[in-house]
Structure 1
């Protein structure tokens, strides 16, 4: 807990930095991240309950899209279950251009968000994707616990997405 400028106690945001690697080039991984078919395939494979590509646009090498993903209540930690009272719905807006992207994530029923930036860089013969961001939940006493849960779940999701991307690209030669 920290004291803000008004003297009120609040939770600090939880920083997230996570790296995944791929045997595919940065150009191929970026190409997948801005491909509508890839996004639909990824959501179908690992998007969870009622997953959908809400919006997608691509022009002049820049992509912008919104994803909706669901996590059934039975797969949530007890602290999240008690707060949500049901399934978790994740809304995720990503904007990508030239091997880098931003992400904004909001969660249904939770006064908080995750904001971050992605980079895709060459890594030997493959590539590395890095997410740097912060999870912030504005609930007194519970915010820090939920930020920890969010950070842990983001890492699990990014690892699954990385595995999916590697397979998806391998299947396309």
Structure 2
């Protein structure tokens, strides 16, 4: 069984500016340096002007991973995240090392009054008998926490650039 996830964040900046940050290579590197976790890196990046795709690697040290997940991993949590963006919308695919799991979703960025609203709609699936549902819930919760941190970083990053 899979778990649906829908998460919203807001920004005081326009949808155009938030989208511009999400496809900016410098922004991605800065965001990873600030909140990407252990051994974070921008693995690939390509932009044609109309479409931007990239893969991020983010890490969580084993001591910060819940015991149920730690047993399955046998070490640090390594997250591979691939995003593709075009015209204010994006897709995301997330895989976690050592865990038969997947998050697939889509992002929208829309103007919302005096700023922007970013929405992730997706699904988390973990194929581990008996523990899958608990791990899906944990992943969904942690994705929400990460998106909140990224939204805060994005707002600060954009504010620092005028």
> TM-score when scaled to structure 1?
0.92
**Structure 2 SS opposite 1:162:** helix
| Among candidates 40, 57, 74, match of residue 63 of structure 2 | 74
Aligned to 1:86: 75
SS of equivalent to 1:70: strand
Question: Which of the two has higher C-alpha Rg?
Answer: 1
Tell me the residue number matched to 2:85: 96
Which of 138, 141, 155 aligns to 1:166? It is 155
In structure 1, what is the Cα distance between the partners aligned to 2:11 and 2:96?
28
Distance 2:141 2:39 in 1: 22
SS, match of residue 86 in structure 1 = coil
Equivalent in the alignment of 1:151: 140
Q: Which moved more, 1:75-84 or 1:49-58?
A: 75-84
Aligned to 1:36: 25
Alignment coverage as a number of residue pairs = 162
> Following superposition of structure 1 onto structure 2, how do residues 128-147 of structure 1 map, counting pairs within 5 Å?
128-147=117-136
For 1:33 and 1:62, locate their aligned partners in 2 and report how far apart those are by CA, in whole Å: 12
Q: How does 1:107-126 map to 2 (within 5 A)?
A: 107-126=96-115
- In structure 1, distance between residues paired with 2:34 and 2:56: 14
Per the alignment, residue 3 of structure 1 pairs with: none
Partner residue, 1:47: 36
CA-to-aligned-CA distance 1:108-132 (integer Å, 9 cap, x gap): 0001100000000000010000000
Structure 1 position 61, deviation (Å): 1.9
1:60 CA displacement: 3.0
Shift of residue 73, structure 1, vs aligned partner: 1.0
User: What is aligned with 1:62?
Assistant: 51
In structure 1, runs of 5+ residues without a counterpart are 1-11
TM-score after normalising by structure 2: 0.99
